[in-house]
Every structure is written in structure tokens, then in C-alpha cells.
Amino acid sequence: MAEEPVAPVLLDEFKDGVRTLTLNRPEKKNAVDAELWQALGEAFTACRTDPAVRAVVLTGAGGAFCAGADLTAPSDPGTHPNARMRMVNDVALLLHELPVPTIAQVDGVAVGAGWNLALGCDLVVATPRSRFSQIFAKRGLSLDFGGSWLLPKLVGLQQAKRLALLAEMIDAAEAHRLGLVTWVVGPDDIDAYVSDLAGRLAAGPPVALAQNKALLNENADRTLRDALAAEARTQAINFATVDAPAAFLAFAEKREPDFTGRWAVG
């Protein structure tokens, strides 16, 4: 009898400029093992180098987003823990540095590295049944997947300490109040909501959106003088594409522009 094919741990769909990556270990609430970390790294690298990708959606299968790292998965006893953490950190950096907008579509639990995977995206859409926790302390661990950097920037130092030290579970409404979720929509509506949102982002000017994302990420640690210099530099890059004049013309003609990001300097 032929064996049934094993489902991939990461589902990958591309449509209309939007690449949707679905964590696919529903029996583990999409907890991430070594195979899935590797698949995410490869997918983010491919998104970075493919000009056809204009937005990325990250979600989970089976009614959960991600239960964090799979601590039950077997690991090579000869592999130093630092090597495993380098793999995790590489994935976090790849996600953070993607030049295209990223959306986390969260339904169900997002805890530990799974929550930080969502927070590493530019926008987070959740449902009322979503639950979140920086669960590390309850496992005798400290924050990872960028949580120690992301949380203070998003909620301030005191609330970040509350989330990290108490490791309590919070609901979507509380996460939204703290600024850790961008929108909360009904579970029956989230697919259409995210599809519309991703489509709007994919239709935007790719070079300008990449510059905006980089400026906001980088300028959080810069002085105003540094930020203004960076803004001037990136604006010059935008004016070297066809998108800025195309937008001006579309505005004058009272229509929507068609953004391509094409270089316009001969």
C-alpha cells in the first residue's frame, strides 16, 4: 500500500502580488520545529528576492496562529543551543527586513515566539477569539524571536515588563488596547478583510512603501537629524522611479495610479 504524502509544514500560495504563508502543523497548534524554521527562512528569502511579491500574509492552519517553538521536537544532541538560536534569529531578521509590507492574520493562540512572529509583521489582524502570551517565563525561558526589542517599542518599557515577567494570557481586546493588534474583526470576516488589506498594499508603490517601512524601522533608534537625512535620501530614490510622476498624473486625471516601482533614470 502506497504511503500517503506528508503535508508540507508551510503552505505557500501566490496570487495577485500577495504571497500567503500558512504555518501547517495544526496538530501542534502550529508550533515551530526545525523543519518549519527552515521553511520560513527559505520563504522569506524568496519573498525578498522576487519582484512579483508586493505583500506577504502570514497565518496559521487549524484554528491557531502559532503556539511558539516546539519544545517537544527532537533535536540533535550534538548541536549547540547557540546554533539553534542563530537559526531562529536569522528568520526573525529576514522577516523584519523584508522590503514588502507584511500582515499577520491571527485567529486562535499566538504565544511565545509565535506571538513575536506576529509582532514582527508590519500589521496584525486578529479575531475576538485570539489569545496572546509572552509565555517564556512560564517555561523557565527568556524572550526570543525579537521580543525584547519589539515589546518596549510597541508598548513602552513598563507594559513590556508586565507582559514578559507575568507571562499572562491576554485577549484580543487587551492586545488591541495596548497597540499590539492593529485591527480586531470577526472570525467569519477575517479572510476577506486581510485579502482586501493585502490587495491594497500590493497595489501601492513598491519602492515608496519599502522606503517608508525601512525609515520607520530604522529611525526608531536615530536622532531627528539622522532621521531627516534618511528621509531626504529615500525621497530621492522615490523620485527616480516612474511611480511619483504617475501618481501626480493620476491625481490630475482623477483616477487611481498604476504603481510598478520601475526605475526611471536613463
Residue 6 has pLDDT above 80, yes or no: no
| DSSP tag of 112 | T
Q: What is the pLDDT of residue 224?
A: 82
In three-state secondary structure terms, 136 is helix
**In terms of C-beta density within 10 A (0-12 exposed, 13-18 middle, 19 or more buried), how is residue 87 classed?**
middle
Short-list 59, 127, 121, 58, CA closest to 92: 121
The whole model's pTM is what? 0.91
Short-list 238, 191, 135, CA closest to 22: 191
pLDDT in tens, 76-125: 666 667 777 888 899 999 999 999 999 999 999 999 999 999 999 999 99
Short-list 65, 56, 36, CA closest to 180: 65
Could you tell me the pLDDT band of residue 226, with boundaries at 50, 70 and 90?
confident
Query: Strand locations in the chain, DSSP E?
Result: 10-15, 18-23, 55-60, 102-106, 109-111, 123-126, 131-133, 170-171, 183-184
pLDDT in tens, 20-55: 999 999 999 999 999 999 999 999 999 999 999 999
Amino acid at 141: L
Distance CA 178, CA 174 (A): 6
